[in-house]
Amino acid sequence: MVCHCHTAHRNRKHISQFGKEYQPPFEDGLFYSAAIVQQSHHAAIWRSHEGQKRSTFVPTSLANLNMSSSKLFQTIQVGDITLDHRVVMAPLTRFRATDSHVPSSLAAEYYSQRVSTPGTLIVAEATFISANAGGYGNVPGIWSVEQIDAWTRIVDAVHVKGSFIYLQLWSLGRSDDPSQLKKEDPTFCYVSSSPIALTGKAVTPSSSGTAIVPRAMTIPEIEEYVHLYATAASNAVLKAGFDGVEIHAASGYLVDQFLQDVTNQRTDKYGGSIENRSQFALDVIDAVANAVGASRTAIRFSPWSTVQGMGMKDVIPQFSHVVTCIRNLHPSLAYIHLVEPRVDGWDDLTEIPVGQSNDFIRNIWAPRPIITAGGYNPETAKDVAEKKGDLIA
């Protein structure tokens, strides 16, 4: 799974393996840990939000997994929490918040339904760190009292089920919808690492499709955003009660825009070299880890994705450097979350391009936890958990 509004539609073809009668509750597509980690009868019952039974089925592909011996269903320590299994719910953007970016009353039920098995980790939907870092309507935020209070109720609903929840921290950069940004506040600026217009398929739900060149962020603005990430993390963990936060540095959003040379053509300390392009991501991690602790901090990368005009040619040196720095500076970071190269944004590739693999990051980060996401089915999830020790989203 990947974190975007399109995920629900893309994932329907994957979940068909679990039973032809299956209908995803809330139209959210694949979160199959509730099905995978059922008890030994290998049956699952989904209920709609009105409480009516949707379907009961026996997913035969799950029955063949021999759950008792699979590493996928063994406990693992992730930061400060101990999970009962290694199937994780990846962040899924819902666009169900209010116009003030407050999570709706439905969200607590939505998330509590997805932790029917205790000891499960959910990474909640991508959430704006501040109003000026947004640019999509009806996406939740984590800066106001009302937002924090709403998230607190959601976190409590997950914790009462004996499970855990991280919040994904989101800043859009050039990926936002400029018209929506101005609608939020006419003083908000459309910014990125460099003045390079967004190209390729974008995920903006209301974008006009017109290419607009963002303004390069100033050093004071970069420093402000680093502070905003830290404040958002503090609001999430210390006020709303989240078990941790995941920095969204994937899929062509702001942190990714600084990491990759296709979007970062700066000549100051935040661009021009592998080390400088890594600096914003490292500053954000430092600030968040200082605010809530490294063991409650995580980050997500999509090194090979070309979604939203991304896709630098020399991936391995860039991401090797930033992951090595994270390992050296914050060895107790909760986890690194990787999008597999077989998924490019919301599209599954028919085959993985030659030479594309996240194993170089696994080798640097081992033996620390890695969550990997993208096009998994029960058999491939079990195989990767067994061979590489990953958690599967």
Note the pLDDT tens digit of each residue in 294-346. Answer: 999 999 999 999 999 999 999 999 999 999 999 999 999 999 999 999 887 66
Distance CA 312, CA 192 (A): 16
pLDDT at position 12: 30
Distance CA 29, CA 32 (A): 9
Please say if the pLDDT value at position 205 is more than 50: no
Please say if the pLDDT value at position 56 is more than 60: no
Q: Where are the beta strands (DSSP E) in 48-163?
A: 53-57, 76-78, 81-83, 88-89, 121-128
Higher pLDDT, 83 or 21: 83
Q: Which of 292, 269, 284 is nearest to 326 (CA)?
A: 284
User: Environment class of residue 264 by beta-carbon count within 10 Å: exposed (0-12), middle (13-18) or buried (19+)?
Assistant: buried
H helices within 123-241, ranges in order? 145-159, 178-184, 219-234
Please provide the CATH number assigned to the domain covering 68-392: 3.20.20.70
Confidence of residue 66 (pLDDT cuts 50, 70, 90): low
pLDDT at position 252: 96
Measured from the Cβ of residue 46, the count of other Cβ atoms closer than 10 Å reads: 20
Q: What residues does each domain of the chain span?
A: 68-392
Tens of pLDDT, residue by residue over 227-279, are 999 999 999 999 999 999 999 999 999 999 999 999 999 999 999 999 999 99
In this structure, which amino acid lies at residue 289? Answer: A
Yes or no: say if 216 and 192 are a contact pair by the CB < 8 Å rule: yes
SS3 12: helix
SS (H, E, C) 149-180: HHHHHHHHHHHCCCCEEEEEEECCHHHCCHHH
Q: Is 253 a catalytic residue?
A: yes
Rounded to two decimals, the pTM is 0.85
Tens of pLDDT, residue by residue over 155-204, are 999 999 999 999 999 999 999 999 999 999 999 999 999 999 998 655 55
Q: What is the mean pLDDT of residues 130-136?
A: 98
pLDDT at position 285: 99
Among the listed residues 253, 270, 335, 376, the single catalytic one is 253
